[in-house]
């Protein structure tokens, strides 16, 4: 019995049969046209039948070529779908979570060992940034977002209430006290880039048309803003979970002081995800872990 042709010849034939062009098949597979022609000649020699009619400036399938194309297409589809099913069953799951740097570095990474111990087979990818992610384009499984809870195509679950925190170093406040909002004119005002709460927003929820200041310092993240405030570079505003214990861990006496009491924001933070079947249970387990660390007093 004649053995079937080597599997490595099949992709060249499938592409050429589907596109009815050796040159287009070569472009698709990133090889030369000569390589496609050679593999098809080897295939025809092995089978003992012509698979293509070489016409002027084009090729066409013979009857044998059409029959073989059906076999090859089914074979490759079975191989590809089986490969994906194998990965789904046995590959190490990867969970991609997006959040601000403050939440990632100050609240979750120090407590990551507990999640790893509970889920030893899961790879965790924390995407720490201020701007909103695009679920469709960036492959994120879940994210923390401040807002209304209504995002088309996404599921959202309330995570925690949030406060606007206005803080500065005790040394700066001792030198330049802030007894009223008018005293901000002596200070540099710090806020993170891409934050939904900046000093213009602060003016609105403090009930004034604008906040006078000596200058602005815009940094890449909420965590950078807090660190700059600790260094006495100005007064920072950022969004914090409303949990008293979390705020106490971040606004450490001697390093930072409240300029005004925390202001409750009208919209909470949500845990947002796209329902996707295979990862739904894992996403909910991640939600429970995150909520335990950003809202431990709830």
Q: What token pair was written down for 61?
A: 């399938």
Residue with tokens 């000649």: 41
Rounded Cα distance between 151 and 171, Å, is: 43
Sign of CA dihedral 212, 216, 220, 226: negative
Domains of the chain, earliest start first: 7-90 (1.10.10.10), 94-160+268-294 (3.40.190.10), 162-264 (3.40.190.10)
Mean pLDDT rounded to a whole number for the chain: 91
In this prediction, residue 120 has a pLDDT band, given cuts at 50, 70 and 90, of confident
What's the rounded mean pLDDT across residues 19-31? 94
Rounded Cα distance between 209 and 231, Å, is: 29
175-228 pLDDT, tens digit each: 999 998 889 999 999 999 988 888 988 888 778 888 889 999 999 999 999 999
Name the more confident of 297 and 52: 52
Other CB atoms closer than 10 Å to residue 148's CB: what's the count?
11
Closest CA to 139 of 121, 157, 127: 127
What pLDDT, on the 0 to 100 scale, is given for residue 1?
A: 62
What pLDDT, on the 0 to 100 scale, is given for residue 91?
A: 65
What pLDDT, on the 0 to 100 scale, is given for residue 17?
A: 95
241-297 pLDDT, tens digit each: 999 999 999 999 999 999 999 989 989 999 999 887 668 888 999 999 999 999 998
């Amino acid at each position: 019995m004649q053995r079937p042709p080597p599997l490595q010849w099949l992709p060249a034939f499938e592409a050429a049969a589907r596109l009815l062009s050796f040159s287009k098949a070569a472009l698709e597979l990133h090889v030369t046209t000569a390589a496609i022609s050679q593999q098809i000649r080897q295939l025809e020699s092995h089978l003992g039948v012509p698979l293509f009619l070489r016409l002027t400036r084009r090729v066409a399938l013979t009857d044998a070529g059409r029959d073989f194309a059906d076999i090859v297409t089914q074979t490759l589809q079975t191989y590809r779908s089986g490969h994906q099913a194998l990965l789904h069953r046995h590959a190490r799951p990867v969970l991609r979570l997006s959040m601000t740097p403050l939440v990632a570095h100050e609240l979750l990474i120090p407590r990551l060992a507990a999640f790893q111990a509970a889920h030893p087979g899961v790879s965790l990818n924390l995407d720490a940034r201020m701007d909103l992610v695009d679920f469709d384009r960036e492959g994120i499984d879940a994210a923390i977002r401040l807002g209304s809870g209504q995002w088309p195509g996404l599921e959202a679950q309330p995570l925690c209430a949030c406060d606007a925190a206005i803080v500065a170093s005790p040394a700066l406040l001792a030198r330049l006290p802030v007894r009223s909002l008018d005293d901000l004119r002596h200070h540099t005002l710090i806020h993170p880039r891409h934050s939904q709460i900046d000093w213009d927003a602060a003016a609105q929820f403090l009930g004034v048309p604008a906040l006078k200041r000596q200058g602005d310092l815009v940094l890449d993240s909420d965590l950078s803003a807090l660190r700059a405030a600790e260094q006495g570079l100005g007064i920072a505003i950022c969004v914090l979970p409303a949990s008293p214990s979390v705020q106490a861990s971040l606004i450490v006496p001697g390093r930072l002081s409240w300029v005004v009491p925390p202001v409750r924001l009208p919209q909470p933070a949500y845990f947002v995800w796209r329902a996707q079947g295979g990862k739904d249970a894992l996403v909910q387990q991640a939600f429970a872990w995150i909520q335990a660390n950003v809202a431990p007093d709830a």
